[in-house]
Structure 1
Amino acid sequence: MASEPPQFPELSPYQQDKNNNHNQNHQRSGSMSLGAPPGTAGSENDGSVSGAPQPQPSTAPAPDAAGAESERQVHEVLQSEVGISTLLTRLKQSISSTKEFALFLKKRAILEEDLAAGLRKLCKMSQSTMLHPDHRQGTFAEAYSGMMGVHDKIAQNGLQFSSSLHQMHDDLVELYTYAEKNRKGWKQNGLSAEQRVADIEASVRKSKAKYDALAEDYDRVRTGDSQKGGKMFGFKGPKSAAQHEEDLLRKVQGADQDYHSRVDLLQAERAELMRTTRPEAIKALQDTIRECDAGLTLQIQKFASFNEKLLLSNGLSISPLKKDAETKSLRDIVAGINNDRDISDFVVSHYRNVPPRTGEPKYERHAVLGGPSHAGPTSLQPPGQVPHGPPSAQFSMASQQFPGPLSQGAPGSTFASPMGPGPAMGGPPSKGHERNFSHTSLLSNTSLPSQSGNPPPPQQQNQQHQQHQQQPPPPQQQLQQQQQQQQQQQQQYGPRNGQNSGPAYGPTPSQKPPQLGALPFQQGPPQQGPPGGHHGHPNPLMQHQPAGADRPGSGGFPQGRNHSPPQAPTRPVFGVSLARLYERDSLAVPQVVYQCITAVDFYGLAVEGIYRLSGSVPHVNKLKSMFDSNSDSPNLDFRNPESFFHDVNSVAGLLKQFLRDLPDPLLTREHYTAFIEAAKSDDEVVRRDSLHAIINNLPDPNYATLRALTLHLHRVMDNSHTNRMNSQNLAIVFGPTLMGTGANSDISDAGWQVRVVDTILQNTLQIFDED
C-alpha cells in the first residue's frame, strides 16, 4: 500500500530566514574555542578566534542543529494525524489568554473610571464648599482652587486612560470572537476529514482480517487438511469436498475484491487529506494563532505604553517642566499661601463695620441730688426764644452738630430753627411730607417724653434761658443719647430693613419707610417723663408735622404699635402670580426664589432635615414683609447669613411659603390632570417622557422657576448622606406645594403628586440641562 509522499505547507518568512541563516552559517568558516559555551557559536557576527583549531566543515554548530531538529519535529507533528488537534488546542490557549486579559482591562477601566469620576466630583464639591463665606478666602482660596485644578487634570488623565482601556477591551473581544469562529469551523472541517480517513483505515483492517481468514480456510480445504469423513454438513444437507471448496473460493474472491476496493478508497482519501485538507487546516490554524497572539501582544504593549503615559501626565500635572505664570506646579501653588496677608485682608474687609466713636461717658449729678441745676437732655430751647449770637452762627452750629440728613437739608428731616417757629406750623402740609404710619411711628418714638405741646412755666423759661447762656446747646446731648440708645437696640435686635446706623430723625422721601416687622423699637413701652413730673419742651423734630396731625379725624394715628393699622406692601411678592412678577421685575426666576436657593446652597446642604424641619415663624413673617416691601434691598442678600438671622430653616420655610401662596401652583391647575395621568404609568421611561413633555408646555416663568428649583433640589439630593433628604422625602414635602389641587382632585391624588415630583427629581438632568 504505497502512499504518495506528504505535502508540507510553505514555511513562513521567519522560518525561511532562519533556514537561510542556518545554511549561511554552515558555509562560513566560523569557529569557536574549546572552552567557549555552546551559546556563543552560530552567531551571524561570529568570527575566527586566533589560535583555535578549525572545526571540520561537516560538524554543524549546536544551536543550528537543535533548531533544525526542532523544526523537523514540528513539521512531522503538523503533518501527522494529531497536527490539527494539536493546533486546535494551541489556539484554544491563545483565545483563553486573550479573554482573560480583556476581562482584566475591562475591570481596570471600570476602576479607573470610578476613581476619576469620584475624584472630579470630590474636587468640584470641595471647591464649591470652600467658596462659601464661612471658609478662608484670599490666597488660601486661590491656592486651594489651583490645587483642585491639578486634581481635576489628574482625574481627566484617568478618564482618558479608562477610555483607552475600554477601546483595547473591545478590540480584544473582537479578536478572540474571530479566533473562536475560525477554530469552530476548522475543527469541524479538519477533524471530520481526519476521522473519515481513520474510519476507512479501520474498515480496511477489518476487511483484510476477513480476507486472510477465508484464504486460510480455502487453502486447508484445497489441500484436504480440513476433511473429516469426506463430507461437509450444511443447512441443506451434506456437501461434498468439491462443493465446499467452491463455496470457499467464491467467498475468498469476494473478500479480495472488497479488500482491494477499500484499500483504493483509503489511498484516495489519504491523498486528498495530505494534499489539500490537512495543509489548508494547518495553515489556517497557524495564521489564526499568530494573529491572535500578535493582537494580544500588541494590546499588552499598548497597555504598558498607556500606563507610562498616565504616570507621566500625572507627574507633569503636578510638576510641569515648563513653568510660567499660567502653569504652576503643585508645590508652587501651595507655596503661594500667605497666612498673614489673609488675616490682614479679612480684618480690613470689616473696617466699614467699625461703629463711630461717641466719646467717653461723663458723669453728671442730677439736680435733685444736689448737682448743677440744668434741665438735662429734655430742656430744649422754646421755639420763640432767640439765643445769643448772630443767626448765621447759630445755623452753622446746628449744621455741624446734626450730621446726616439734618445737615443736608433734606425734605422731611427739617427741624425748627432757633430763630423762631416756621410758617409751616399753621399752614397745610407741604408736598412730600404726607404722613403715613412709618413716619408717624418714627417721630413718636424719637420725640421727647412730653408731647402735650403746653409751654413751660415762665420761671422755668427764665431758668432755661440762663442755663442756655452758660451751657452748650442741649440738643447735641439729646441726640447723642438717642444715638447710643438706637445702637443698643440694633445690637439687641439685629439690623433693620433699609436703615443705617444713625439718629432716628425720620425717613426722607428718598428713603423707603421701614416695615412693621422690622421696627423693634416700636415694641417697647413709651418713654416716661423726667423725675418730678416736669414736662420739657416739645421735640423740635415734631414742630414740622403736618397741620392738624393731632386733631381728631385728621388722619394721624395714636402712638403705639398695638393701635396702628397695618401698612399695605409697596411691591408685593407673595401671593402674586409668576407672570405678573415677570412683567414687573423682568426676572425669569423671582428674587425671593433665587435668594432662598442661594442661602440653602451655601448653608443648608449639610443641614439634616432641610425643607422638612420648620423654621422660626417670626423670622419667616419678617422676611416675608421685607420682600413685600423691597425685594432688591441689600439687607436681603442671603449670601450673608445675618440677613436671615443665621436660620437656614426659616429660609426653606420662606421658599415653601412663597410657592404655597402662588395664585396658580407652579405646575399649574391647567396641567394638573395631565401630570396625575402621567404619574400612573408603571413604565419609568414612559412616565419620565410624559412628564417631560408636559413640563415643556408650561408657561415660561413657571418653567424657569421649576428648572431652578429642581436643579437646586437635585443638589440637596446629592448630599442626602448628610441631610437625610432623598428624592422621596423631598417629593413628600414639595408634592402638594408644587401641584396644589385640581378641579376634580381628591385625597387619593396625594400619592400621585408625590410620584410626579419624585420622578422629576430622579430625572433632573434628563429633563433640564445643567448649565
Structure 2
Amino acid sequence: MMGSEGSLSLSEITISPKEHQPPSKLLQPSTPSTTDSVDDDIEQWRNLDNGLPCLLEKAKQDINVAKEVLNFFKKRAAIEDEYARQLTRLSQSMLESHDRQQFAPDTLTHAWSSILRIHESIGDQRQKFSTEIAEVAEDIAYLVKDIEKKRKMTKDLSVRHERVLGDADLALTKAKQRYDVSSEEWETKLMQQKNDAMGLTLKGMFKQNRNQMQLNKIEDEARNKAAMADEQYKQQLSYVNRLRKDYYDEHLPKMLTALKMTDNECCVALRYQFSRYDYAFEQAVVANGTELDDDEDGGLRMVITKIDKDADLRNYVNTQGGRMVSSDARELKYEKYEMAVKIEDEPASKAIIPVKTRSVFGVSLDQLLKVEGGEVPIILRICAQTIEAYGLHNQGIYRLSGAASHIRKVKALVESATTAFHLTPEDYSGDINSVTGALKLWFRELPDPLIPRQVSEQFIAAAKCEDERLRVVSLHTAINDLPDANYATLRYLVNHLDKIQQHKVYNKMGIPNLAIIFGPTLMGGDKEGYTFDESKTLQDMQWHVRIVEIILENYRIIFEPDDE
C-alpha cells in the first residue's frame, strides 16, 4: 500500500512515455519553431534548472547595453552636429569679413582664405558624420524596441507555461492527498474486518458489533473509493508528466532557442551598427586628413607652404603706384632768401623783385574764384589731379596725414600757381598724404563751409527722409540750390572722391570711410573753435557724415556726370 506523501515537484515526477496533446492553444509558442534537432547549447540549457531565467537575464543585459550605446550615439551625434554648425558658421563669417576688407591679392591672403574654406569643408564633413551617427542611433532605437518586444513575448509565454504546470502540479498534489486518505480509510476497514473475523473487539471504536455482511460492504465501499482516488491520481500524474514532457521536450527548447536567437540578433545588430559607426568615423578622419594634406596640393599643409613673404612684399610695393626717383632728385638744392627790399650796395640791375604770391587759404570761395577767373579753385584741380595720378593705390589715402613741413611746401607751391598742374614727387617730398593734407586744410579754412551753414538744416532734413527715392530727390534739390561756385566745386570734388572709392580694393577707402573724413570738413563740423553747444549737436555731426555718404552713393544720379 502507498503511504501518505507531500506535494510533488516537477522534477520528481516520472515522465510518462504516452503521448499527450496540450489542452489549450495558450501553450503554443508565438516564436519561430525550431528544427527537430536541438543544438548542444539548447540541450544543455534545457537540463539546467535556471536555464530559461538565465537567458532572459542575458537578453535583458544585452538590451541595457544597447540602450547605453543608443544614448552614447545620440549625444555623440548632437556634439558633432553642434561642432559642425559652429565651425561652418565661424568659417563663413570670417570669410565674409575677409572679403569685405578687400586685402591686396597676395599669397598670404590667398592662403588664409583657403584655410578658412578648408575649415568650412571640414564643418560640412562633420555635419555628414553627425547625420550618419544619428541614423545609427535611430536604427539601434528600433533594435532595442524590437528586442524588448521579443524578450517580453518569450517571458510571457514562459509565465503561461509555468502557470499551467503549476496548476497541474497543484491538482496532482490534491489527487495524491485524496488517494492517500482513501487508502488509509480502506486500510482501516480491512484491519477492522480482520479483527472481527478473529473474534477481537475494539473497545470504544464501534458502538455496536456489525455482522460480516455489513463489514464486507463497508470494506468494499472503502476499496472502491480508494480505487477511484488511485485512478484519478494516476490520470493526473500521467497528465502532469505529459505536460512536463511537452514543456521540456518542445516548449522549453523553443523558448530557449527564441531567446538565443533574440540575443544573437541583438549582438549581431549591434556589431553591425558598430561597424557602420567605425566606417563613418574612419571616413570622417580620412576626409579631415585629406583636407590637411592631399595629392592635388590643395591641403592645409601645401596651402601654408605656398606663402611667399618676399613676393608678397615686392608685389605690394609695385601696386602702390610709386615712381623711381633719381639720386640727383634726392639732393636738396640751395634756396636763397629773396628779400623784398633793395640793397643799396648792390647795382640796380641786381635789386631783388618780390615773388608774386596770392592768398588761397582762408579766403572765401567767391573771392578766390574772382581772382582766378575759373569755375573751380586751382588748388582743388592741382591736388585732385596729382592724387589721381600718383595716389589712387595708396592705402589710407585721405585718412593719413602728411608731415606739417611737407604740407607747408605744397601750400606754398599752390599759392604761387596761376594755372593747374601736376605736382611731382619732388614737390611733395614723395609723400602723397602731404597733398591730401593740404587740400583738406584748404576746405577747413574756408570762412564758410563748402555746404554753407545756413542751408545745413535743409540738407539734414533731406537726409532724414525715410523713403529712399524721396531722400535722394530732396538732397538733389538742396544741392541744386547751392551758389554756382559751391555747386561746381562740390561736383568736382565728388567726382574726384568717386574715383578714389573705385580703387578701394587697393586704398581701402570706400564710401563710408570717405564720408567720415569729408562730412565734417565740407559742412564745417571740424572747424577749429566750433562747439556743439552753439549751433550743432553730436547728432548733427553724424548727419553730416550721412549726407556726404548719400551724395557719394548717388553721385551719378545727383550730378549726372558725362560718360567720359
8 Å contact from structure 1 (residues 203, 262) kept in 2: yes
8 Å contact from structure 2 (residues 15, 245) kept in 1: no
Alignment of 1:473-492 (within 5 A): none
8 Å contact from structure 1 (residues 172, 296) kept in 2: yes
Alignment match, 2:521: none
Q: CA deviation at 1:521?
A: 3.8
Alignment of 1:542-553 (within 5 A): none
Mapped pair 1:10 → 2:23: no
Alignment match, 1:295: 269
Q: Distance in 1 between matches of 2:454 and 2:161?
A: 109
What TM-score, normalized to structure 1? 0.44
- Match 1:444 to one of 367, 376, 388: 367
Q: How many residues align?
A: 412
Alignment match, 2:139: 171
8 Å contact from structure 1 (residues 572, 629) kept in 2: no
Alignment match, 1:366: 339
Amino acid at match of 1:622: H
Alignment of 1:493-508 (within 5 A): none
- Indicate the SS of the match to 2:356: helix
How has the CA–CA distance of structure 1 residues 228 and 302 changed in structure 2, closer, same or farther, with 3 Å as cutoff? farther
Alignment match, 1:566: 455
- Indicate the SS of the match to 1:277: helix
Unaligned runs of 5+ residues in structure 2 are: 1-13, 21-32, 345-350, 387-397, 403-410, 421-438, 476-509, 517-536, 557-564
Q: CA deviation at 1:168?
A: 1.0
Alignment match, 2:465: 575
Q: CA deviation at 1:167?
A: 0.9
Q: CA deviation at 1:155?
A: 2.4
Q: CA deviation at 1:238?
A: 8.1
Alignment match, 1:469: none
Alignment match, 1:218: 186
Q: Distance in 2 between matches of 1:79 and 1:291?
A: 24
Unaligned runs of 5+ residues in structure 1 are: 16-70, 381-439, 452-477, 495-500, 509-517, 527-558, 586-596, 604-614, 635-771
Mapped pair 1:160 → 2:50: no
Alignment match, 1:92: 60
- Post-superposition CA distance 1:470-489 (Å, at most 9, x none): xxxxxxxx9899979x99xx
Alignment of 1:576-615 (within 5 A): 577-578=467-468, 580=470
- Match 1:78 to one of 46, 56, 76: 46
Mapped pair 1:252 → 2:226: yes
Amino acid at match of 1:170: E
- Indicate the SS of the match to 1:377: coil
Q: CA deviation at 1:317?
A: 2.3
8 Å contact from structure 1 (residues 94, 292) kept in 2: yes
- Match 1:331 to one of 301, 305, 309: 301
- Larger RCO, structure (CA 8 Å, separation 6 or more): 2
Q: Distance in 1 between matches of 2:380 and 2:553?
A: 33
Alignment match, 1:754: none
Q: Distance in 1 between matches of 2:341 and 2:18?
A: 145
Write 1 or 2 for the structure with the bigger share of helix.
2
- Indicate the SS of the match to 2:173: helix
- Match 1:624 to one of 530, 540, 546: 546
Alignment match, 2:430: none
Q: Distance in 1 between matches of 2:179 and 2:550?
A: 119
How has the CA–CA distance of structure 1 residues 348 and 379 changed in structure 2, closer, same or farther, with 3 Å as cutoff? closer
Q: CA deviation at 1:110?
A: 2.1
Q: Distance in 1 between matches of 2:305 and 2:248?
A: 78
Q: Distance in 1 between matches of 2:84 and 2:381?
A: 62
Mapped pair 1:112 → 2:80: yes
Q: Distance in 1 between matches of 2:262 and 2:284?
A: 32
Q: Distance in 1 between matches of 2:543 and 2:171?
A: 106
How has the CA–CA distance of structure 1 residues 117 and 186 changed in structure 2, closer, same or farther, with 3 Å as cutoff? same
What TM-score, normalized to structure 2? 0.58
8 Å contact from structure 1 (residues 116, 156) kept in 2: yes
How has the CA–CA distance of structure 1 residues 79 and 370 changed in structure 2, closer, same or farther, with 3 Å as cutoff? farther
Amino acid at match of 2:141: V
Mapped pair 1:147 → 2:160: no
Amino acid at match of 2:367: S
Amino acid at match of 1:343: L
Q: Distance in 2 between matches of 1:277 and 1:519?
A: 103
Q: Distance in 1 between matches of 2:237 and 2:74?
A: 56
- Residue identity over aligned pairs, in percent, reads 18
Q: CA deviation at 1:308?
A: 2.4
How has the CA–CA distance of structure 1 residues 160 and 506 changed in structure 2, closer, same or farther, with 3 Å as cutoff? farther
How has the CA–CA distance of structure 1 residues 562 and 379 changed in structure 2, closer, same or farther, with 3 Å as cutoff? closer
Q: Distance in 2 between matches of 1:201 and 1:269?
A: 10
- Match 2:255 to one of 278, 281, 290: 281
Mapped pair 1:193 → 2:161: yes
- Match 1:347 to one of 317, 329, 341: 317
Q: Distance in 1 between matches of 2:236 and 2:419?
A: 126
Amino acid at match of 1:376: V
Q: Distance in 2 between matches of 1:560 and 1:154?
A: 56
Alpha-carbon RMSD across the aligned residues, in angstroms, is 5.4
How has the CA–CA distance of structure 1 residues 88 and 173 changed in structure 2, closer, same or farther, with 3 Å as cutoff? same
Alignment of 1:121-132 (within 5 A): 121-131=89-99
